[in-house]
Amino acid sequence: DIVMTQTPLSSPVTLGQPASISCRSSQSLVHSDGNTYLSWLQQRPGQPPRLLIYKISNRFSGVPDRFSGSGAGTDFTLKISRVEAEDVGVYYCMQATQFPFLTFGGGTKVEIK
């Protein structure tokens, strides 16, 4: 099984400042088809998760461009260029490379200082 490890567990950020979340997989997420099926989800308090980024760096429909994803192989990063109040919540990485098995990272809580 692929294990997804996120750091930090919690990230207190000042409004308007950047935030960065790391996700590491226990094995390469490069699929045999050449794609890397690593996505990022945001879960605001009391809400279901929402897809932000898919295949490392592609923003899903309606996602603000302050969110960006990067990385390759086993190391990935989600960046928020300027944190806004509505960005408070828990962020998860997820791998679908090992289809049909999905695994999620443990989550990183973004909160305002």
Partner 1 sequence: QVQLQESGPGLVKPSQTLSLTCTVSGGSISSGGYYWSWIRQHPGKGLEWIGYIYYSGSTYYNPSLKSRVTISVDTSKNQFSLKLSSVTAADTAVYYCARLAAQLGGVDYWGQGTLVTVSS
Phi, psi of 85 (to 5 degrees): -60, -35
Interaction between residue 94 and partner 1 (CB under 8 A) = yes
Range in contact with partner 1 (rule: CB under 8 A) among 17-25, 50-58, 63-71, 75-83: 50-58
> Whole-angstrom Cα distance, residue 13 to residue 93?
19
Closest separation in Å from C-beta 87 to partner 1? 18
Evaluate whether 107 touches 90 at the Cβ level (below 8 Å): yes
Take residue 54 and report the two structure tokens written for it.
């898919």
Q: Which of 39, 78, 87, 91 binds partner 1 (CB under 8 A)?
A: 39
Per-residue binding string, partner 1, 9-38, x by CB under 8 A, is --------------------------x-xx
Type of residue found at 108: T
